[in-house]
Amino acid sequence: MSVDELILYSAKEVRANPDLFKEYIRLYTEEIGKKPNCATCQFSGTYERWVGNHSTASKKLNKMSNNTFTLIKTKRAIVVPFTGGQVINEDATDDLVRLYLDQVQGAARVVREANFTKLPDEPKAVEISAVPKAKRPRKKVRNGKG
pLDDT, position 3? 78
Kindly state whether residue 82 falls inside one of the protein's structural domains. Answer: yes
98 in a domain, yes or no? Answer: yes
Q: Is residue 133 part of a domain?
A: no
For residue 102, with 0-12 CB atoms within 10 Å meaning exposed, 13-18 middle and 19 or more buried, which class applies? Answer: exposed
Residues 81 and 110 in one domain: yes
* Cβ pair 45, 81 in contact under 8 A: no
Nearest in space to 87 (alpha carbons), one of 95, 100, 78: 78
Please write down the long-range contacts of 123-132, taking CB distance under 8 Å and 24 or more positions apart: 123/94, 123/95, 123/98
Handedness of CA 58, 31, 20, 50 (dihedral sign): negative
With CA atoms as reference, report the closest residue to 76 among 46, 128, 111, 102.
111
For residues 56 and 84, membership in a common domain is answered with no
Cβ-based neighbours of 122, under 8 Å, separated by 6 or more: none
In order of 32, 36, 46, 52, 102, the CA distances from 27 in angstroms are 9, 10, 13, 15, 46
Q: Looking at residue 91, what is its pLDDT?
A: 82
Domain that holds residue 57: 3-62
Instruction: Look at residue 42 and tell me if it is in a domain.
Output: yes
Same domain, 53 and 76: no
What are residue 87's DSSP bridge partners?
Answer: 79
Is this prediction's pTM over 0.75? Answer: no
Do 40 and 80 belong to one domain? no
What pLDDT score does 107 carry? Answer: 92
What is the pLDDT tens value at each position of the chain, 146 positions in all? 777 788 788 888 888 888 888 888 888 888 777 887 766 677 777 777 777 776 554 444 444 457 888 888 887 888 888 888 888 888 888 888 889 998 888 999 999 999 888 988 887 766 666 666 666 667 776 776 55
Domain-embedded: residue 109: yes
